[in-house]
């Protein structure tokens, strides 16, 4: 019922007979569309089409590639409403939040339009007498991106503009929960003049992911999703000889120091904890109060949580949307129940929330829990919902130890008025992205995005300069042009640079 989402291969809609799954609206619980699911043959078809097109694309001038990216930028801006509505319908997030992720995705496209600058190699004259050296960076070939449900536009945009600008063909396997945005992007690339086969979309689940990780025609895999699947993709694709970057889950802590502006900190932590129902890898599911601010912070965060309107993403009055599936909602409620049974104090309780007219939606209200032990799963695991756990410690060193004890290392924040503690925090914390009085320190598109520890497997962070490094390999060329009558005695010694 509803609309159908097919694969986009070689510039065409490609259906897979027989294998489909419903696309659901999280705000209503209703089926809105049907997604075609690929398999190893669909992947093979896409790789063949990509390989043919990429051989030509790698030779297309940088100026021409840039012109296509500029056209694409304009088309995405013009289609922002269409993409945002599709994201909100399938993901649930508010239209404003969806437009925000499109804007953040465009940052990487804008960065990629500077490819003329970023692909400049190095050149050294006379590295030895009469010998010059230079380097170039060349595309890898056909590369794949596998992306999560929570940012159906932005996360793929971390990948494809740079992969394409550097001369690769890109195959996207988006989340099966909110697939429509990727097909709109494929249509826009075609309208922008990108040759067929350079950006393709294959939909599906594990079967498609495993086929992408093992297909011999694919040189590199970029993955963003949960930690167990990141580890699986990293291990499988690495074993198949591919370059891999696999960004995993998170459990980001915000430290609230006694000298912080508590109202400011509570407002910022609330936006990190409850924005997009906590379904962001840079969400703030843990606050750590230091010293005597614990009760004052709890009162302030309670006031912030109680201000929020929970409702469908297409209602302009909504602050916090539903979570993605009924299972995600049940997990949030179960993990809160378990926290309570273990002696946790429920400061804000959104478990029983019902949104009028949306009784079948996956709604749950904001939840704030405190007084949990350090080994309780509701604190240690990624809940990925609107649950804020507030931990308490006595001093800065204990806060630092708590943050560093987490196996995840995606993002973290400190709220303080003290430059001394802010500086110690940024230097000593074992986390990849740090906010100082900033709750969601997501780097802009011309820097790179990546966590440490169980939040990233592989050597390269996403987008920005590390994206150029990931999607290209270097050639170092040494050149000598002897004159027709130049002679040289042959030497068996290793050459030195005289």
For residue 78, the number of C-alpha atoms closer than 13 Å in the C-beta half-sphere is: 9
- Selected binder of ligand NAD within 176, 296, 337, 398 (CB under 6 A): 176
Which of 249, 313, 366, 432 binds ligand NAD (CB under 6 A)? It is 249
Q: Which residue in the set 247, 265, 273, 429 belongs to the binding site for ligand NAD (CB under 6 A)?
A: 247
Cβ contacts of 300 within 8 Å, gap of 6 or more = 262, 263, 265, 266
Relative to beta strand 387-393, strand 12-14 is unpaired
Q: Decide: 23 and 90 in contact? Cβ < 8 Å.
A: yes
Window of 59-67, 218-226, 350-358, 422-430 that interacts with ligand NAD by CB under 6 A: 218-226
Q: Contact with ligand NAD (CB under 6 A): which of 205, 258, 291, 465?
A: 205
Binding segment for ligand NAD (CB under 6 A), chosen from 42-50, 242-250, 293-301, 336-344, is 242-250
From 103, 217, 209, 114, select the one nearest 151 (Cα to Cα). 103
* Residues facing residue 169 across a β-bridge: 142
Q: Which of 80, 226, 238, 418 binds ligand NAD (CB under 6 A)?
A: 226
When the beta carbons of 13 and 176 are compared against ligand NAD, the nearer one is 176
CB 223 within 8 A of CB 146: yes
Tell me the residue number closest to ligand NAD, measured at CB.
225
Instruction: Compute the half-sphere exposure of residue 310: CA atoms within 13 Å on the CB side of its CA.
Output: 27
Closest CA to 324 of 363, 357, 286, 353: 363
User: How far is 184 from 71, CA to CA, in rounded Å?
Assistant: 15
Report DSSP state, residue 495. Answer: P
**Is residue 252 within the footprint of ligand NAD (CB under 6 A)?**
no
CB of 456 to ligand NAD, least distance (A): 7
Binding of ligand NAD by 148 (CB under 6 A): yes
Answer for which of 144, 164, 209, 287 binds ligand NAD (CB under 6 A) is: 209
- The 102-141 contact track toward ligand NAD, x by CB under 6 A, reads ----------------------------------------
Residue 322 binds ligand NAD (CB under 6 A):
no
What's the order of all strands across the beta sheet hosting 31-36? 3-5, 31-36, 20-24
Give 189 or 223: the residue with its C-beta nearer to ligand NAD. 223
Burial 205-225 (b: 16+ CB within 10 A, else e): eeebbbbbbbbebbbbbbbbb
Angle between helices 62-78 and 80-91 (to 10 degrees): 70
User: Which one among 28, 54, 108, 150 touches ligand NAD, defined by CB under 6 A?
Assistant: 150
Site string for ligand NAD, 436-455 (x = CB under 6 A): ---------------x---x
For the CB of residue 250, give the shortest distance to ligand NAD in the complex, in Å.
Answer: 5
**Which residue lies nearer to ligand NAD by CB, 192 or 237?**
237
What ranges make up the beta strands (E) of 162-258? 169-173, 199-201, 220-224, 243-247, 253-256
**What are the strands of the beta sheet with 7-9, ordered from one edge?**
12-14, 7-9, 199-201, 169-173, 142-146, 220-224, 243-247, 456-457
- What value, to the nearest 5°, has the Cα angle with vertex 383 and ends 182 and 409? 80
Question: Which residue of 281, 293, 335, 402 would you call a contact of ligand NAD, by CB under 6 A?
Answer: 281
Q: Is 213 a catalytic residue?
A: no
Q: Total residues contacting ligand NAD (rule CB under 6 A)?
A: 28
**21 or 426: CB nearest ligand NAD:** 21
Our finding on whether 197 is near ligand NAD (CB under 6 A) is: no
Q: How far apart are the first and last CA of the chain?
A: 75
The pair of three-digit structure tokens given for residue 167, joined into one six-digit string: 């001369």
Q: Which of 248, 272, 322, 361 binds ligand NAD (CB under 6 A)?
A: 248
Q: Which of 146, 273, 390, 399 binds ligand NAD (CB under 6 A)?
A: 146
Among the listed residues 153, 281, 367, 383, the single catalytic one is 281
- 155 touching ligand NAD, by CB under 6 A: yes
Residues 357-396 that bind ligand NAD (CB under 6 A): 382, 384
**Interface with ligand NAD by CB under 6 A: which residues?**
146-151, 155, 173, 175-176, 205-206, 209, 224-226, 229, 232, 247-250, 281, 382, 384, 410, 451, 455
Residues identified as active-site: 281
């Amino acid at each position: 019922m509803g609309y159908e989402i097919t694969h986009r291969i070689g510039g065409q809609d490609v259906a897979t007979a027989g294998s489909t799954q419903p696309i659901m609206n999280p705000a209503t619980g209703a089926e809105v569309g049907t997604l075609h699911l690929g398999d190893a043959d669909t992947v093979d078809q896409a790789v063949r089409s990509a390989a043919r097109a990429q051989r030509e694309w790698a030779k297309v001038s940088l100026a021409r590639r840039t012109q296509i990216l500029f056209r694409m930028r304009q088309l995405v801006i013009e289609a922002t409403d269409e993409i945002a509505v599709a994201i909100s319908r399938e993901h649930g997030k508010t239209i404003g939040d969806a437009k925000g992720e499109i804007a953040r995705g465009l940052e990487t496209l804008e960065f990629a339009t500077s490819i003329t600058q970023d692909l400049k190699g190095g050149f050294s004259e006379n590295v030895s007498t009469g010998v010059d050296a230079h380097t170039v960076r060349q595309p890898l070939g056909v590369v794949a991106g596998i992306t999560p449900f929570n940012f159906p536009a932005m996360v793929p945009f971390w990948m494809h503009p740079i992969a394409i600008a550097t001369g690769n063909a890109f195959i996207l396997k988006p989340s099966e929960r909110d697939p429509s945005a990727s097909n709109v992007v494929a249509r826009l690339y075609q309208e922008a003049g990108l040759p067929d086969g350079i950006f393709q979309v294959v939909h599906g689940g594990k079967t498609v992911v495993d086929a992408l990780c093992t297909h011999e025609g694919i040189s590199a895999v970029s993955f963003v999703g949960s930690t167990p699947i990141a580890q699986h993709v990293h291990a499988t694709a690495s074993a198949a000889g591919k370059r891999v970057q696999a960004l995993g889950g998170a459990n980001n802590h915000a430290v609230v120091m006694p000298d912080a502006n508590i109202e400011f900190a509570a407002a910022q932590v609330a936006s990190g904890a409850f924005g997009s129902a906590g379904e962001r890898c840079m969400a703030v599911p843990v606050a750590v109060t230091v010293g005597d601010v614990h009760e004052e912070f709890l009162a302030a965060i309670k006031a912030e949580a109680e201000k929020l309107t929970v409702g469908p993403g297409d209602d302009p009055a909504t602050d916090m949307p539903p979570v993605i599936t009924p299972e995600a909602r049940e997990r949030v409620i179960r993990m809160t129940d378990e926290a309570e049974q273990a002696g946790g104090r429920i400061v804000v309780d959104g478990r029983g929330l019902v949104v009028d007219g949306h009784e079948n939606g996956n709604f749950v209200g904001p939840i704030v829990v405190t007084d949990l032990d350090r080994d309780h799963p509701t604190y240690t695991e990624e809940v990925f919902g609107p649950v804020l756990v507030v931990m308490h410690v006595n001093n800065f060193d204990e806060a630092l130890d708590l943050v560093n004890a987490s196996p995840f290392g995606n993002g973290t924040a400190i709220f303080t008025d003290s430059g001394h503690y802010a500086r110690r925090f940024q230097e000593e914390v074992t986390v990849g992205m740090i906010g100082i009085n900033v709750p969601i320190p997501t780097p802009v598109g011309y820097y790179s995005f990546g966590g440490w520890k169980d939040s990233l497997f592989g050597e390269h962070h996403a987008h920005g300069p590390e994206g150029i490094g990931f999607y290209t390999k270097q050639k170092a060329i040494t050149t000598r042009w002897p004159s027709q009558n130049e002679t040289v005695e042959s030497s068996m010694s290793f050459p030195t640079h005289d």
